[in-house]
Each structure stands twice: as structure tokens, then as C-alpha cells.
Amino acid sequence: MDNTAYQLGVSCECCGAEQSIPISEKRGWKIFQCTLCGLFFVCPQPTSQQLANVYKKAAGYFATAESDLSETSPDASLQCHKLLVSTGIKPGRLLDVGCSTGHLIYHLQKWGWQVAGVEINADAADIAKKHNLDVRVGELAEGQYQKGLFDVIFMGDVIEHVKGPRQLLMLSHDLLRENGLLYINTPNAKSGFATASLLLSKLWGFPWPHSEAPYHLYEFSPHALSQLLSSTGYDIVYLRRAGSRSFFYMIGATGFFDELKASMKQAGKYKLNMKLLGKIPTLMLMSCILLPFHIFGGIYDKLSHSGSKIHLIARKVSRPSPTRNFSC
């Protein structure tokens, strides 16, 4: 991979720099890294139609979602509730951006939260609506909710998917009450496995296993995400790097098995089929290549108290900086 700094003519979403380094290519999409803050991003970005094709059920997106929310585990919701309360906030109005089927907010109601959600996938949103949840289909948009309405806005595995993270954070800033909280979970681009496997991309052109391009348009490090939040009017009150991805997830994230995964999910649940037999040699090869990086990543994360996910809570404190244009 050529590590020459490129002038893309676009501003980094986090720091505004215009020089980037190409570091990988995934599923035909080029991934760059900002030379100043380290943000990873896809450029050029997919069109709206291309994204619509990526997120449709026929492509396997949400094909295995649980349709009965009463059967889902409340553990994540309870953990979310306890963490928010530990910051001193009382249960109030909470908006889940990218709420999927609404499983998080479905359980949060039990602890006194007044909940609402926004979800881009209509099939997933329908499941939420069937459980009497106030979920709207589409992206979070200006004028969709009253300004200052929410005490908390939650984004779980969302910010890496959107075309304009800065714009999303500024819109959320308007929707939060004074001193309201923004709670973000997103993959950690500086985890042990992400950092180690990046060498495969830079040195040998292997698709970066950490990236989920074009599903993920951005990959954040704690530093880059913190910088973005600071410039959009937030003060970080909690930041933790934790968690791990399974080895089988990492194999699937290489992009070599997308058709196989989609075919295995057609029945609504993962189900083995004959296509798996033809992929066994490739599965074995990928396992041999990635296993050393997986082991190293686990050891690195344990020693450095890191992990595969960034868990961050920020408080609304000021007016954000002017919007920068990011146009790939």
C-alpha cells in the first residue's frame, strides 16, 4: 500500500486536516487515514442508493433479528441504566439513534425511562412498533424532534455508519437539554487486533479485518472521537475501552465470506448450507493468517486495559464549532 500523503480536497470530520494516507481497500472501497488525528474513513463514500442496497433485508441486514422483544436479554439495558445513573442523571427522556428493533429501549422502560427511537431499516423499525415503541423510520433529521427535548441520546454502533458524524453530533447537541448526556458505543480502531492487523493492509494489501467498509464509513480511535466531541460542544465524563470480538467474527469481517453469510441468514437464523463446503479451504487459510494477530491483540488489550469497543459518555456544555464540509 502506497503511504504517500494525499490531498483529497476534503476536511477530516474530526480535526479538519486535508492530508490522508491510503491504508487499505475493503469490498472495493478505499480506506484512508487522517495524518493528523488518525481518523479512518471511506472515500469516496457510497451513494444513498448504494447504502440502501447494503442495509436491505435481502442482503442479510437484520435478517436474524429477534421479533419478540420479550425474549431478548435485558442485561445491556440494565448496564446502560446503571452507567447513566452513576453520572448523576435521573431517568428521563432518552432517544436511541439507530435503535434497530428497539430491544434496548424496550427494556429501559422498566427503569423509568421515557423512550423514543430512530431506525433507518424499516423491517427492524416495524418490530419496535409492534411492541408499542415510538420509533421513526429514517435518519435523525433537523426538525424531527423539539430542541432540548431529551435528557440522554444513545448511539450504539451508529456513529461509524453515518455519512456525517459531525453533523449528527451537532444535531444531537440541539436536541439535548442543558447538561444532557450523549452515550456512544463504537468499535475501537486502536484495539490490539485493529492495530496489529493494520500491518497486513499497509505492508501486504490485505483487507483490514477491523474495518467493515462500506457498512462502516468511519473507524474511530478514542483520541479522534474525543477531539470530534470536544469541537462539537461536549465534555467527556466517562471513557472506557473494553470488550472483545470473537475470532469467527474477525474471519467473517475479512469480506471474503459475505455471500456465504447472507445465504446462511436467509432462513432468519444462521443455518449451515452446502456453500460452506466450498469455502472451507479459504476459511482455513484466513484462520492461519489471522490467528497470530488475534492472540497478540488479546494480550495487548489485557496489558494495556484496552478492548474492541469504545464506551463514552459526554455532557452537552457549549455551542459547537461551525460545520466542516466532508465531501467524498
Tell me what pLDDT residue 261 has: 75
Q: What is the pLDDT of residue 56?
A: 66
pTM of the model: 0.90
Residue range 81-115, pLDDT digits in tens: 999 999 999 999 999 999 999 999 999 999 999 99
**Using CB atoms within 10 A of its CB, is residue 43 exposed (0-12), middle (13-18) or buried (19+)?**
middle
SS3 (DSSP) at 110:
helix
Q: What is the pLDDT of residue 87?
A: 95
Q: Where are the domains of the chain?
A: 6-66+162-316
In this predicted model, what pLDDT tens digit does every residue of 125-175 receive, in sequence order?
999 999 999 999 989 988 899 999 999 999 999 999 999 999 999 999 999
pLDDT at 323: 47
Those residues of the chain that have pLDDT short of 50 are 323, 325, 327
Question: What does the pLDDT read at residue 268?
Answer: 52
Written as one letter, the residue type at 123 is D
Q: Which of 93, 116, 120, 98 is nearest to 106 (CA)?
A: 116
